[in-house]
Amino acid sequence: MSSDTAVRWLNGAADVGPELLSRVTGAYEELALREMPVNYHSWVEEEFGLDMSSVYGGYPIGNPWAKASGQLSMTPQQVAEDVEAGLGYVVLKTVIAESEDGGQSMSDWAIRESRMQVEPIRSRRGESGWTVSWKGRGWWGTLDEYLELLRSACGLAAGAATLVVPSVKYHLLQPGESEWLESEYRFTTRRLLEAWRDSGSKGPMPIEKDFSPTLAGSERSRVREKVVEWLRRVPCLVRAAAGDGEVAVGLKVFNALFDDSFQLEMLRVVQQAAGAESANWLVYGNRLFDPDREFDGQRGIAYGGGDLSDRNLRVLSEFHKEYGAAMRPLAGTGDICSGRMALEYALRGASSFQLHTFFQLPSGQYALRSGSRTQKALHELYLHPEEGLVVWMEHLSRRCGLPTGPLRFRDVVGHGRPG
């Protein structure tokens, strides 16, 4: 695969007229001072004619912005803020699957977070960004506590436009192992489904399978063939556990320690899977893992920032070149800290964006003074005069000849490199 470092397609300044730029700048400054933040999605629709509706897997969503699974989707309070801010969906923290007797083959991932630090990071290309350093991994509470979170989150989202999505880390075969622990898949999926139905949710339950970056550093992912087998078998196992039509499965693909061509191979495997083996959507791509990076006395941690987006965009460019409009539904994740970066992922096929780090920055990094972190982030993501989505959508409408009338986000998805 090309090691071209010119991985970005949206460089320099957005090509927009002075009138639009002045309206965006005015809105950015004026809304920042409001005591009650606006609903940003409907506000940009009214003021700038932007239709942000999109899809996540097969689910219609009002806008593509989502909370990625992690430390910011562990409590009902956090979910309530995201529902209030009108996010398209929220992926809850990853729970570690267990079987009926309480056994957890992936118990190494049920580690309590000790300290977490949001810090600046410079990419190999010299770009400044942010990363979150910590030693924790998955949900460390009980499964019952997680089910309680799922019920409350669905209750909070009922009647609102935000979709709630559980995330699970199930058993994965290790080198030398040949028996899948189907009991873990059965027990955990069914309990999640019960909680989902209890809360009045209808239709198939969306569920994400997390292949986390720390897997990259574990013995489990040492053998490429095993990893490929995981990607094929996991959707079947989750579906078989839930019953026909009861779940829709998204695979959150990790950044392995192998080269970019293996990343592409993983995406191809998911893309080409048929029947019960096929995932309903892909999430790409979880954070990088550095075996030598140290934090709090631990060697080997996950990280993000510009190296993560560079790698993801490089791989997704190739994937998009191969499959174009035939690509499976895709959600982008990784260093999405601006509207511009979100659109880089969208041009390569992502119809929604899962953010973690940008919802966690020190409050001085956001212009909006009131409201929740989620609202503060949306203010920047949409309206930043140089980096925001409004100016870059206008840029794309000029460069890509998008259909006239209201500018529709979905017309950008999978468009490919702008002319």
Which positions touch ligand FMN (CB under 6 A)? 68-71, 93-94, 116, 132, 134, 138, 167, 210, 212, 252, 286-287, 304, 308, 333-336, 354-358
- The tokens describing 281, both together, are 């959507």
Contact yes or no for 250/283 (Cβ under 8 A): yes
Q: In the chain, how long is the greatest CA-to-CA distance?
A: 65
Q: Which is nearer to ligand FMN, 168 or 413 (CB)?
A: 168
State in angstroms the smallest separation of the CB of 179 from ligand FMN: 25
State in angstroms the smallest separation of the CB of 381 from ligand FMN: 11
Q: Which is nearer to ligand FMN, 191 or 287 (CB)?
A: 287
Contact yes or no for 17/390 (Cβ under 8 A): no
- The tokens describing 414, both together, are 């999978």
Burial class (CB in 10 A: 0-12, 13-18, 19+), 176: exposed
The CA-atom distances, in angstroms, between 144 and each of 147, 198, 231, 298 are 5, 14, 28, 30
Q: Which is nearer to ligand FMN, 317 or 357 (CB)?
A: 357
Contact yes or no for 353/345 (Cβ under 8 A): yes
DSSP track, 340-402? HHHHHHHHTTEEEEEESGGGGS-GGG-S--SS-HHHHHHHHHHH-TTT-HHHHHHHHHHHHT-
Cis peptide before 176 (omega within 30 of 0): no
Q: Which is nearer to ligand FMN, 24 or 87 (CB)?
A: 87
Q: Which is nearer to ligand FMN, 319 or 358 (CB)?
A: 358
State in angstroms the smallest separation of the CB of 400 from ligand FMN: 26
Continuous H helices in 158-259: 182-198, 213-216, 224-242
Q: Which is nearer to ligand FMN, 63 or 357 (CB)?
A: 357
State in angstroms the smallest separation of the CB of 299 from ligand FMN: 18
State in angstroms the smallest separation of the CB of 253 from ligand FMN: 10
State in angstroms the smallest separation of the CB of 190 from ligand FMN: 21
State in angstroms the smallest separation of the CB of 328 from ligand FMN: 18
d(CA 389, CA 408): 12
